[in-house]
Amino acid sequence: MGSENNGMGPVPTEEVKSIPKVKPQVDAGRLSMEAGLLRWIILAAAVLFIFFGIFRDETAAVFRKAATICLECIGIG
């Protein structure tokens, strides 16, 4: 199995040397907290825009546009 060729190019027979790990310069806990906060902000903005669209009665327009796009994709519209 080491020298078989399955059409993907030559198969290396020697072991591949691992790349040494580099320590991150940024505190992983802080980065994780910032990423979590950003996710919550984006989620809150999305929910706010959804409710704003419902309040403005835009649901019919959105469904009409979605149906048009869907029908164009299958070649009917």
Its pTM stands at 0.47
Q: Does 66 reside within a domain?
A: yes
- Give per-residue pLDDT as tens, 10-34: 666 666 667 777 766 666 666 677 8
Query: Do the domain assignments include residue 40?
Result: yes
* Mean predicted lDDT score pLDDT of the chain: 80
Tokens (6 digits) for 7: 């059409």
Q: Is residue 70 over pLDDT 60?
A: yes
Total of domains in the chain: 1
Confidence of residue 74 (pLDDT cuts 50, 70, 90): confident
Question: Is residue 50 included in any domain, yes or no?
Answer: yes
Domain that holds residue 55: 28-73
Q: Burial, 5: exposed, middle or buried (Cβ in 10 Å; 0-12, 13-18, 19+)?
A: exposed
